[in-house]
Structure 1
Amino acid sequence: MSKTNRRKFIGTAAVLAAGTAVAAATPLTAIPTTMENKYPIVHHVFFWLKNPDSKADRDQLVAGLKTLKKIETVRELHVGVVAATEKRDVVDTSWAVSELIFFSDLAGQAVYQTHPIHLAFIKNCSPLWSKVVVYDAVDA
């Protein structure tokens, strides 16, 4: 091995060792978590469409749900449709669209409930659904 290659090897090894030492010394609390305790209030809603085979109705409901992100107390919003996962007795695939919203606190969730954007969503999209189920949860 030439002196130049040996120096490059030693330099690279030193940088890697220093990076490993810094990573090992970083406390786990300094590493950001996903949403654990970040937004402790969860609002999960499942919708069943009156016309379950209508892609237009589903798309209209999805678009309506996405407007809820404009509400200032909504921290995170996920709108989804049934996933093509394996069939199991514990998996309910009878619904069509869901929304999952995260709030910082109960006051923010209360603002959301009476917010004009939420009320407009209900007015404009409620004719599309036959059933709605809501699950609200707080971190345990």
Structure 2
Amino acid sequence: MMVGDTFSAKRTFTRGDVFAFSNITGDFGSLHTMPDSRGRVRVHSLLIASIATKIGGDLNFFSETLDHTFMKAVYTGDEVTCKITITSVTSLDNSFHVEMALIFKNAENETVATGNGSGFIPKNIS
């Protein structure tokens, strides 16, 4: 793990994804339940942010802080790619403390969200 390393994951959101997230969180706001004129519903912001969870799982990352800014709506059927760039790595006794920058873009290469976070990656997984 080095400063400058990048990781990415992408996802196309479905009505089923939004419905499942609504059931988990209790957020049944009309933006997420009432289709627009094109038959789409708006994806929850935190569901968009959860794309980074795939990367975190791959890295065995334990989150310490997360900060996101959402700037453009995402609707069902939209594909979003999350790119994480490592901005700092500190070696500790049993883990690495890692800081990262996140950017989320839609298929039109428009930024829909940005963020940063920090956490720990164990040195040895047993």
Give the TM-score, by structure 2 length: 0.24
Structure exhibiting the larger radius of gyration computed from Cα positions: 1
Q: Which has the higher helix share?
A: 1
Give the TM-score taking structure 1 as reference length.
0.22
Decide which structure has greater strand share: 2
